[in-house]
Amino acid sequence: MFKETLINETCKLFKIHQRDLLGDYRFKFLMPARFALAKALRMRGWSYPQIAKAIGSHHTTALYRVREAEYHMTRDPKFAKKVHHLAEFGKEIENAP
């Protein structure tokens, strides 16, 4: 449930469709959203295999996306703000009993 909420929020922030975020498309404009989602999940303490399962890829892909997000966060404050928003988004939902 929480995963879907975070995916929907990522799509809303980056103005893309969910099938594009989680699909196999390799368009450049989709990458920041994918990087941000992976980094936000990592900031929440998810392991690379857990992130990979959530985004439908291999754990090395998850590692790559997190590293790319970290790089972009140092260069682009707007991107960093979006990642932090996603990392904090819905914590009350996730921690609910």
Range of the domain at 18: 2-24+31-94
CA dist 8 and 4 (Å) reads 6
4-13 pLDDT, tens per residue? 899 999 999 9
- Confidence (pLDDT) at 63: 97
Q: Provide the CATH number for the domain around residue 58.
A: 1.10.1750.10
- Confidence (pLDDT) at 91: 73
- Confidence (pLDDT) at 1: 57
Share of the chain above pLDDT 70, in %: 93
pLDDT over threshold 60, residue 34:
yes
| Amino acid residing at 62 | A
The residues, any chain, with a CB within 8 Å of residue 69's CB and separated by 6 or more, are 35, 36, 38, 39, 79, 83
pLDDT over threshold 70, residue 96:
no
Q: How many domains does the chain have?
A: 1
Q: Are 48 and 63 in contact (CB under 8 A)?
A: yes
Write phi, then psi, for 40 (nearest 5 degrees).
Answer: -65, -40
Pick from 3, 2, 6: nearest CA to 82: 6
Mean pLDDT, residues 14-37 taken together: 94
Mean pLDDT, residues 10-32 taken together: 94
Helices (H) and strands (E) in the chain, counts: 7, 0
